[in-house]
Structure 1
Amino acid sequence: MMRSRRDFLKTTSLSVATAALPPMGTQHPVPHSFVPKKTPTIMLRSSWRDANIGDQGHTPGTLRLLERHIPEVQLLLWHAEPRPETEKLVTQNFPKVKIVRGNFYTGDTLSDELKAAFDQTDLLIHNSSQSFNYGLYNYEWGGPIRALTPFYYCYDRGIPFGIYGQSFDKFAPPSQYFFRDILNRAAFLYARDNESLNFLKAETFHPSILEFAPDGCFGIDIRDERKGLAYLKQAGLEDGRFLVVIIRTNTPHFNEKGEGNLLNPTKPTPGQQEQDRTRMAKIREVITHWVRETGYKVLLAPEVDKEMPQAKNHLYDQLDATTRQKVVLRDTFWNADEAMSVYARAHSLIGMEPHSLIMGLALGKPVVHVRSHFHGRKGWMFRDIGLPEWLFEVDESPASAWIDQLSKIHRDYPAAKAKAQKAMAFVQKRQSETMMAVRKIVGLPSTK
């Protein structure tokens, strides 16, 4: 029996102002479906940083899934902070999507634009990220509170909400009680890795839907062919004859004004600096072997803007002269669409960051991920979509293991591409299944 939004409101005792919540551990009812307006509206909260093409890539990826599988809905994209570069990608590739702007602290201080957007919304989706953690990188409450407060606002008004393709890593006490209370009210929690899913189950989370769904970035298909092809020509990179290398170091963001965090320390410790030197030595070993074995080039590509000088200092400048002739250093930052056009012409990708590799897989390219456990559980998603052989621990595994895997990919490239395509077939199946669940939540019939 379908449940109306008005009926749901009658059962709701929560308000943002009073926070009068039911007892902990209660199974919280969520409207799985209701009689929608003629055109349901879904609001996607996304676009975490412009200076990270992975954070850019979540947005067009999930928007494409929503457009493809739920074309009947009106889509709103919520940018809590200014994101001019991501907005360019959206306006160029998703002309029907309306962008709404404004931060959210309490229900009483919403801008008129944001309040009107919530009044129109039939489902709020928080896109892929690591927003719902406490104690992973720091013990600041501001980020988690800003992520959770809109859910209370939605719950108070009978608006279903959910989280798509998220990693959950740590709820330091007593935060688990707060996270559990509101997230148990969600229409869905889709975790992008099975480690996160098992973590939530162990912490007794039980929303209406608790399942695996790939990171939203897997849906990306946008390109900037004009810029991408021009760059390939200028850099002397030939189609199918270069390896993309992506690094991540223990260094601060550009223009960092605060104390940073474990992932981006403002003042790296001697131990963190030594860790970078060790990791980059392994990457140099991979680059040198690749050039000598294949004769192909290497592109040092940035997923995050801060890594361009690090790639120069730790990699490019320290290679021997012969190898360096085959290496291209990208020293200007780019947006996700240009990166996609370049990655589409790569042979393969290897990286410490996951989202360039996701883009590569979406383009049918073999990838090798050398993950750091400091980055949380998200790296396990490559194992969980069927690619355990292409996943390594950056500190625990030797460079020779990465080299062996790249050599296997190169020696039987058709088989490696077929492996990537099989993984993407699994991803696309889960994307379709999760989007069918979203259709039901906004009152639309399945398309199957």
Structure 2
Amino acid sequence: MNRRDWIRSAVASAALSRGALGARVEAKKRILLRSSWQTVNIGDVAHTPGMLRLLEQHLPECEVTLWPSSVDNGVDEILRKRFPKLAIMPKTGEAKAEAFKTHDFLLHGSGPSIVGQTSLVEWKQKTGKPYGIGGVTWTYTPEGLKVIDGARFAFFRDSVSLGVAKEHGATCPVLEFGPDATFACDLVADAPAEAWLKEVGLEEGKFVCCIARQRKTPYWEVKPERKFEPETQAYNDQMKEHDIAPLREAVIAVVRQTSMKVLLCPEDATQMKLNRETIYDKLPEDVKPRVVWRKDYWLTDFAQSVYNRSAGLFGNEQHSPIMCIGHGIPAVVCRFKEQTSKGFMWKDIGLEDWLLDHDHDEPAQRLTPIVLSIINDPAAAKAKALKAKAVADARMKRMMDVLRGELGI
């Protein structure tokens, strides 16, 4: 080969290499994450950063765009701070059309149901591209079953929901238990949290958290567009003492029988008032000095930093306990039927002893001893929390492995 031919061959090889590289760049898989359902609840906020962290850990070579319902109230900022490369889809028809054209897979994030069900249907009808469902609670509907059957995979965050899908003959290729992605949420705001804890006199490891909740969330208190619902209010009032008195008794026992303090804190924006009226205001005067009532709502990062410095958490909510277990902090869940079957995920990850059911009056007898046992044997409680975290982590990795297979990478 003469010099001229060698040069031509080298140029051609270089061009082919550039073309191959370009093809590899263009073939980079793009995931559209349907999530971020609302921002008045730190748990609803936490679904999204949890799933984003899983994608970051297990599929770092993929590009991810968030298709949100809501990222207001400062959520946009905390997501962009933690995930600076994240693209958030604007709420325009043009942006949606472009996302549908350029993305390879639609992943439905964790939620209380298949919240974005219509979005999955629209995606399938307009693109024919695959989609999957990651970590939801589900109650049977014919429409929902069709959406599950059309998915490449469906992970349910509690075994009850998984059982419902199987009972109704769901034909999705992968039907499995996959915990709420909130277990993977790692948003923190350490500096402001530490400053606030110092301000209110709470020392790391020397307080426990408590959250009260009503049977049905009175959204009209925080969402101007929601009308007052007298029947809901009446039902909440009827059940309020039944559901929250066990929490109040546990708070009293913690203060009188241990050296711990108690923080009354919210998971959603309606609960500051509830904590005050149903717990703090009804405490004996000798107990109140060692109980801190948080009067302001907080976002997920701030709350997580506080939980991480606590000795544990108990209450009528689900996602603050998930945030705790995800960081190895003991947490007790008191459920009732209005919260759907999501509470049973505690059994699924080995925390059946820390799951109480208000519909069977168990918290009234068992909650205080359980909370005291966590405080009195912190090493055993920590080990139990970490063991449950490991179960959740393994199942979430399984979900990411299935997604990787569907993407062909």
Q: Judge which range, 36-45 or 121-130, deviates more.
A: 36-45
Measure the CA separation in 2 of the matches of 1:258 and 1:74. 36
Structure 2 counterpart of 1:117: 99
**How far apart, in 1, do the equivalents of 2:192 and 2:268 lie?**
19
Q: Determine which of 362, 380, 387 is the counterpart of 1:415.
A: 380
Partner of 1:183: 148
Cα distance, 1:45 vs structure 2: 1.0
Q: 1:288-367 to 2 correspondence within 5 Å?
A: 288-367=252-331
- Alpha-carbon shift at residue 383 of structure 1 (Å): 0.7
Mapping for residues 10-409 of structure 1, pairs under 5 Å: 37-102=26-91, 111-132=93-114, 147-171=117-141, 176=142, 178-249=143-214, 250-253=216-219, 254-259=222-227, 265=229, 267-396=231-360, 397-409=362-374
The Cα offsets for residues 14-49 of structure 1, whole Å up to 9 and x where unpaired, read as: xxxxxxxxxxxxxxxxxxxxx995210011111111
Deviation at 1:201, TM superposition (A): 0.6
Instruction: Give the gaps of 5 or more residues in structure 1.
Output: 1-34, 103-109, 133-143
User: One-letter code of the match for 2:309?
Assistant: R
Give the 3 Å change call, closer, same or farther, for CA 269–344 of structure 1 in structure 2: closer
**Structure 1 position 279, deviation (Å):** 1.7
Helix, strand or coil for the counterpart of 2:88? strand
Matched residue type, 1:159: K
SS at match of 2:67: strand
Q: CA deviation at 1:401?
A: 0.2
Q: Structure 1's 266 and 186: CA in aligned 2 closer, same or farther, altered over 3 A? A: farther
Structure 2 unaligned spans of 5+: 1-23
After superposition, the Cα gap between the structure-2 partners of 1:271 and 1:130, relative to the gap in structure 1 and judged at 3 Å, is: closer
The question of whether the paired residues in 2 share the 8 Å contact of 1:151 and 1:161 is answered with no
CA distance in 2, matches of 1:82, 1:76: 13
Q: Is the 8 A contact 1:252 1:267 kept in 2?
A: no
State the Cα deviation string for residues 262-314 of structure 1 (Å, max 9, x = none): xxx55535443121122222211110011111121100110001111111111
Query: Which residue of 2 is the match for residue 427 of structure 1?
Result: 392
Partner of 2:7: none
Letter in 1 for 2:69: A
Q: What is residue 10 of structure 2 aligned with on the other side?
A: none
- For residues 82 and 266 of structure 1, do their structure 2 counterparts lie closer, same or farther at Cα, with a shift above 3 Å needed? farther
* Residues 370 and 394, structure 1, Cα contact 8 Å, conserved in 2: yes
Q: Return the letter of the residue paired with 2:130.
A: P
Q: Is the 8 A contact 2:54 2:184 kept in 1?
A: yes
- Once residues 227 and 138 of structure 2 are traced to their aligned partners in structure 1, the CA distance between those partners, rounded to angstroms, is 23
After TM superposition, give the deviation of residue 258 of structure 1 in Å: 3.4
Deviations 1:212-269 (A, max 9, x none): 1110101111201121111111111011011100121145122353357xxxx55535
Q: Which residue of 2 aligns with 1:29?
A: none
Tell me: CA distance 1:289–1:84, structure 2 relative to 1, closer, same or farther (3 Å). Answer: closer
Change (3 A) 1:333 1:89: same
Contact kept? 2:334, 2:363, Cα under 8 Å: no
State the partner residue of 2:14: none
Name the larger-Rg structure: 2
2:247 counterpart letter in structure 1: I
- Distance across 1 between alignment mates of 2:341 and 2:198: 38
Identity of counterpart residues, as a percentage?
34
Secondary structure in 2 aligned to 1:43?
A: strand
Structure 1 stretch displaced more, 149-158 or 88-97: 149-158
Q: Which has the higher helix share?
A: 2
Q: CA deviation at 1:83?
A: 2.7
Residue of structure 2 equivalent to 1:18 = none
Distance in 2 between the 1:207 and 1:283 partners?
A: 41
**1:169-202 Cα deviation digits (max 9, x unpaired):** 242xxxx1x2222320101110001100000011
**Cα RMSD between the aligned structures?**
1.8
Q: Is the partner of 2:232 in helix, strand or coil?
A: coil
What is the TM-score normalised by the length of structure 2?
0.89
User: 2:407, 2:272 → 1: CA distance?
Assistant: 43
Aligned equivalents of 2:156, 2:275: Cα separation in 1: 32
- Report the CA distance shift for 1:127/1:36 in structure 2 as closer, same or farther (over 3 A): farther
Shift of the alpha carbon at 1:327?
Answer: 0.6
Contact 2:247/2:367, CA 8 A, preserved across alignment: no
Residues matched between the structures, number: 382
Q: Distance in 2 between matches of 1:66 and 1:37?
A: 19
Contact 1:368 1:390 in 2 (8 A): yes
